[in-house]
Structure 1
Amino acid sequence: MNDLFRGELRTQAQYLLSGYQTDSALFFASSRQTLLAQGHYATVPTADSLEALNESVSLALKQAKATGHLDPVVVGAIPFDGQKPACLSIPRSVLRAGPLPQSLAQPKPQAVPCTIQSLPEPQVYADGVALAVSHLQNKDLDKVVLARALDLTAEQAVDIPKLLVTLAQRNAHGYTFAVNLSAAAAEEEATPRILIGASPELLVRKQGKLVFSNPLAGSAARSPDPKIDRERGEALLQSAKDLHEHAVVVDAVAAGLRPFCRTLNVPERPVLLHTETMWHLSTEISGELIDEATTSLMLASALHPTPAVCGHPKRSARDLISQIEPFDRGFYTGMLGWCDANGDGEWVVTIRCAEVLGKSLRLFAGAGIVADSSPQSELAETSAKFRTMLNAMGLVHAGAV
């Protein structure tokens, strides 16, 4: 691909970003491509399990083709609890372009005046971590992920397209997204509910016979001081606690993909990946499928939820999460993305995000807890993860969260 053509694709990607409106079903930008899904063609019926949802998606795509849709693609989001209703639809059109340029201008975002309420309060969250550690030390669990939320109420309706542009500008290496959670209703709502964010974590991508996953686990906050920042990254790469947490996730993802794959490459050690606010331990897993008919959503469903957002063993971790967390995660730590009629597609883990409805926002952040976790350190990790959204809203000095 020559430089001129590559430049044209990036210009087209910027056009898609500037063309996003809240009635768009999905905006999705990765390091590979940019998608903008517009209009409503069909709704994927809800289902009470991921297996049933896969059947609904397959049927919806076949029906769309049979009724004349030239390029049906299912887009949307699936909640943390796979038994709860997903928000999936087939848009009238999906516009595609190359990746957004990494040199997007970064004007300073204007602060959004708002009130902030923690759910639960920080010390209550730390107490929950201590309770989880006691379970882990009793060998009931290898890992559990505990989340908390921030409820923000702004003085005026949030400018979602502007917030999306800011997220894209600040998170060029991740997955910037906006999902219209009202899109599957097939009726335009006066105030749509939007899931917006910049996730660093690829759950799975399927292209023909090739499959890729990029689990992340083990994190450290970035520092504005280059020397300290570098030291934090190196310390993370040597941390026995974080390496163990990461290995639990990688082993689970590999085990989930292996039955579908003829070959599977799993690196022995993780590498460092960074976002604007965090260092992460990262492992890039790749493989070749036995059956090309296996869809991206089938693969994503086999992995969801990974120990990176739930824990291990899965059932015990879920039970403890339901006991400790004082809110329903909804789509947070679920998955979002797209799957076309060939089964190709890309699904990311729904983190570093917020749900927005008019003047109200709910932000989410979580931390992986293992037996030697420190409650205050895990609390600090969630505070750092909130910064992806808070910084994009201009709330750099939001105080202790």
Structure 2
Amino acid sequence: MKTLTKNNTHLHQDQILNHWLYAALLGNHPIAVWRRPDSHEVEIIVDSSGSIKRLIPELEQLPKGFIVHPFADQSDEKAYFLEASKHIKFSLRPDLSENEEIELPEISIDPKTLNLAIKPLLNEAIENQGRSLQASTTMEDFEELVKKGMALIKEGVMSKFVPARTIIQGLPEDFDLAKTFLNLCQEYPKAFVNFFHIPKVGSWIGATPETLICTKGKYFQTMALAGTQPAIGPDPLANAGWRQKEIAEQALVSRYIVNNFKKIRLREYKEIGPKTVQAGSLLHLRSDFEVDMEATNFPQLGSVMLKLLHPTSAVCGSPRQEAMEFLAQYETFDRSFFAGYLGPVNIEDQTTIYVNLRTAQLQGDHVILYAGAGVTEDSVPEKEWEETSLKCNIIGKFFQ
């Protein structure tokens, strides 16, 4: 390893990121890169332990690292965990980063050609995953799925379900992973921008607006995020108007959180909202919940609520079991990590786990975009298709 001062070496953010991406891919190491909402810092974790770790997420007992869990509630309930053999941070603000000392791995090629060397390494790693490329979901198939679920809602089997769809795009010839990540940071300052690569498992990049759970010091936080409409005009928050469908959908997610509090006899919590929030080119309704873990004598609340909440009604449906069974039977593709969860664990007295939304899977020379839509009795199949198109475009436009 070597430590360089950016001011002396004229390193740009994409070059720093490329150094670590190249070294991790070349060494066949898991790597996670992220930028927290409203932050100017990029963080990187490289796990050079030589093993792919699967574990039950008892967050309070884990070392510093990064966790990734698929959507499906697997029988062993195990998540992937990247232990922080290395944890690197650098600033995106020129005024703060000018004289920053950055630790860089030793590399054997010209730093200026790193971005060209990364794509073949990424492709090679992805080819070794042995997954066949799916086909994009057709409008007819998606709307048929929505109609099937709505029939069950009318019968009282479910009150809501969240069907998903995929779009497959070719990666551009000049695809630059580091620059794509940094462009997402610039475009979506309030999102959790992330990239992770686990050898023989997957490579994903995204910008999610939704926190699943956060523990910081003595406080636990979560949110209910649902309802979607385009952000229109110079002041979209002031001009937002919500239909009964979206209000009911968001209330369902809030009620789901409160019901889980009741399951563990937790009565002391703050609820703020719902309020309209902007995530890129979309607006959502959000309610925030906070618990004082010291006052309630519940230090393990993060792990307990993570298990209870995932997958939430915002990405699965309600009741959860019936919605999961419906999706397992009728969705024609594996969601993998889409609508699962991911995030940094036990870093600087904080663990923040996000729902893996607005995300894309890198697969060879293609990228798979994923999006879902909340369907209730008031839904219109064509509008749900349009909503998923808007959501896919949030990430998809960076690969065109």
The residue number in structure 2 matching 1:210 is 219
In the alignment, which residue of structure 2 is the partner of 1:88?
81
2:271 to 247, 266, 286: 266
Corresponding residue of 2:258? 254
Does the 8 Å contact 2:134/2:333 carry over to 1? no
Cα-Cα RMSD: 3.3
User: Does the 8 A contact of 1:199 with 1:349 survive in 2?
Assistant: yes
The reply on whether 1:226 has 2:234 as its aligned counterpart is yes
Aligned counterpart in structure 2 of residue 77 of structure 1, from 65, 68, 72: 68
Contact 2:46 2:83 in 1 (8 A): no
In 2, are the aligned partners of 1:334 and 1:350 still within 8 Å (CA)? yes
Which of 140, 143, 147 is equivalent to 1:126?
A: 143
Which segments of 5 or more consecutive residues in structure 1 lack a partner in the other structure?
Answer: 1-10, 48-52, 62-71, 104-115, 186-191, 396-401
Alignment equivalent of 1:335, drawn from 341, 352, 369: 341
SS of equivalent to 1:369: coil
The corresponding residue for 2:283 is 279
Kindly state the Cα deviation for residue 296 of structure 1 after the two structures are TM-superposed. Answer: 3.5
The aligned residue for residue 359 of structure 2 is 353
Aligned match of 1:313 in 296, 313, 319?
319
Residue among 175, 187, 195 paired with 2:192: 175
The residue identity in structure 1 corresponding to 2:21 is: Q
After TM superposition, the score normalised by the length of structure 2 is: 0.76
Distance 1:342 1:260 in 2: 29
Identify the range of structure 1 (30-39 vs 352-361) with the bigger mean alpha-carbon deviation: 30-39
The equivalent of 1:201 in structure 2 is: 210
Aligned to 1:21: 21
Deviation string for 1:54-73 (max 9, x for gaps)? 35x777x4xxxxxxxxxx31
Q: Secondary structure at the match of 1:82?
A: coil
Amino acid in structure 2 at the alignment position of 1:235: G
Q: Secondary structure at the match of 2:259?
A: helix
CA distance in 2, matches of 1:248, 1:197: 26
Give secondary structure in 2 for the equivalent of 1:169: helix
Question: Any conservation in 1 of the 2:66–2:345 contact (CA below 8 Å)?
Answer: yes
Alignment of 1:109-120 (within 5 A): 119-120=136-137
User: Deviations for 1:318-350, whole angstroms, at most 9, x for unmatched residues?
Assistant: 011112211010000000012228984000000
Q: Cα offset for 1:13? A: 9.0
Contact 1:276 1:388 in 2 (8 A): yes
Given that 2:67 and 2:345 are in contact with CA atoms closer than 8 Å, whether structure 1 keeps it comes out as no
Deviation, structure 1 residue 226: 3.4
The number of equivalent residue pairs is 341
Q: CA deviation at 1:138?
A: 1.4
Aligned runs of 1:371-382 on 2, under 5 Å?
A: 371-382=377-388
Please say if 1:242 is aligned against 2:233.
Answer: no
* Pairwise CA distance, 1:255: 2.8
**Alignment partners' CA distance in 1, 2:255 and 2:93:** 34
> Which is worse superposed, 353-362 or 141-150?
353-362
8 Å CA contact 1:296, 1:346 repeated in 2: no
> Any conservation in 2 of the 1:77–1:335 contact (CA below 8 Å)?
yes
Structure 2: give runs of 5+ residues left out of the alignment: 1-10, 25-29, 96-132
Contact 2:261–2:267 (Cα < 8 Å) also in 1:
no
Q: CA 1:172–1:266 in structure 2 vs 1: closer, same or farther (change >3 Å)?
A: same
Sequence identity, in percent? Answer: 22
